[in-house]
Amino acid sequence: MEQREIHPILRQMLPLVEAISKTVGDNCEIVLHDFSDLENSVVAIANGHVTGRTLGSGMLSKGLEAYLNREYEESLIKYKTIIGAGRTLKSSTIFVKDDTETVIGAMCINIDVTDLLLANRAIHNLVMTEDLGRTVEAERSRFHVSEILTKVVDEVFQSINKPVAYLSKADKLLIVEQLEDRGAFLIKGAVEHVADLLCVSRYTVYNYIEEVKENKNGSGE
């Protein structure tokens, strides 16, 4: 994987080149550079097909520019590189220093994300809808109404303070009356919900509602 003698620190990094490339996959190029010869700095490379480089090649422009401008106090992480074929790379350059804090080389990671960008665009176009905002608001509204219904029904049932099995018809009529007074049956699905809680049919609940209304009309309310 190497052609010449390199700094011991860089030599220790050689196993990382193959390990990282195999972990990430074929679209990930890992390059180890030795800055003792900038024109032929590549001393180890895996998946060189990504940029078309081999042993003895040089650095890509972004990393080389940063080194020549002495902008190597911090590593360059997750920057975009466009290579000759118009493909997009997600790149990182980690500068390597020796014991005297002199930059002796760099390890570069170049992931070809061109196909992923195209797939992301296709997925975005596929899932995009014109009425998404209205749909979300409608769902939120239904959820809010359901919460209100549950809260009102729970409060009324707690005021009776009896297990459903011990409720008399008078108790059930009282529950229905209180729910009717609070407008609970104006909410869609309320009759079915109350019927389930009272262990009766929805037709029975409708009959209770009618009976409650008749009683109110008979009492002159």
pLDDT digits (tens, 9 = 90+) for 73-128: 778 888 888 887 678 999 999 999 999 999 999 999 999 999 888 888 888 788 77
Hey, what are 118's tokens? 């195209």
For residues 109 and 185, membership in a common domain is answered with no
Distance CA 139, CA 3 (A): 64
Examine the domain organization and report whether 17 and 111 are in the same domain: yes
Single-letter code of the amino acid located at 211: E
Whole-angstrom CA distances from 115 to 26, 85, 111, 122 are: 13, 13, 11, 11
Local confidence band at 221 (pLDDT 50, 70, 90 cut-offs): low
Say yes or no: 173 and 116 in one domain.
Answer: no
Same-domain status, 190 and 138: yes
Contact criterion met (CB below 8 Å) for 81 and 112: no
pTM: 0.55
The confidence score (pLDDT) of residue 26 equals 93
| Strand order from edge to edge, sheet including 28-34 | 42-46, 28-34, 103-112, 88-97, 76-82
Cα separation of 130 and 148, whole Å?
Answer: 30
Range of the domain at 14: 8-124
Residues 185 and 165 in one domain: yes
For residues 158, 163, 169 and 173, what is the CA-based torsion angle, rounded to 10 degrees?
20
- 2 domain-assigned: no
Contacts of 170 (CB under 8 A, 6+ apart): none
